[in-house]
Amino acid sequence: MKSKRISDKMEKLLNTQMTTEAYQAQVYLSYASWAEVNSFSGIATFLYGHMHEEREHMFKILKYINDRGGETQIEAIKAPPANPKNIGDCLQKVLKAEMDNSKDIDKIVNLAHEEKDWATFNFGQWFVKEQIEEESLVNEIIDKYNLASNETSDNNSLYEMDRDLAGHSQEGDMPREEKF
């Protein structure tokens, strides 16, 4: 058994964040499925892909808690919100979810700073960078969507944008070190 190297408060906060990441995965899963049945297969592919990213985030936190001698609590995941009204609404909701998640990550980094827990501070920086990337990625897609939906009176641009998104990277354009 490893000696515990994180505070009880940090252990609790990291556990909460682990469940939040699992919830984020549920949100992406539910929106992806909605997009798929509404014939936006490209957006669905992108959202399914991102669901996996969120599961990886969850797992990264689980491993960190265990590595630092803490104990993980696997808890129930709340249900995702209602389906979006349309693709624009879907993307705005995804952006809001990412911005809320960034605030939650900040709580970990703030506590680590307060406790002079530099290991967790360092760990948290990966997520800080990840959130910058994710917000930037979703903003980029929203820009494309706005352009496509304003460009023509028919649905051709939206169709092309959707097709384009199927092969869209899960990463933003900003350089980042290896994931983990």
Residues lying near ligand FEO in the complex (CB under 6 A) are found at 21, 24, 54, 57, 98, 101, 134
DSSP 173: S
- Residue number of the CB atom closest to ligand FEO: 57
Q: How far apart are the first and last CA of the chain?
A: 24
Structural contact between residues 90 and 71, judged by C-beta atoms closer than 8 angstroms: no
Q: Name the residue nearer to ligand FEO (CB basis): 24 or 45.
A: 24
Q: How far is the CB of 60 from ligand FEO (least distance, A)?
A: 9
In terms of CB distance, is 54 or 162 closer to ligand FEO?
A: 54
The reply to whether 71 sits in an annotated binding site is no
Nearest approach, Cβ of 11 to ligand FEO (angstroms)? 19
Shorter beta-carbon distance to ligand FEO: residue 37 or 174: 174
If the CB atoms of residues 24 and 30 are measured against ligand FEO, the closer one turns out to be: 24
Cα–Cα distance measured from residue 159 to residue 149, given in angstroms and rounded to the nearest whole number: 10
| Rounded-to-integer distance, Cα 74 and Cα 22, Å | 10
The beta strand positions in 52-95, using DSSP E, are none
DSSP secondary structure, 24-43, as one string = HHHHHHHHHHHHHHTT-HHH
- Closest contact distance (angstroms) between CB of 6 and ligand FEO is 20
- Is 21 annotated as ligand-binding? yes
Report, in Å, the least distance between residue 170 CB and ligand FEO.
10
- Region label for 56, one of left (φ > 0), alpha (ψ between -120 and 50) or beta (otherwise): alpha
Residues placed in the known binding site = 21, 54, 57, 98, 131
Residues placed in the known binding site for Fe cation = 21, 54, 57, 98, 131
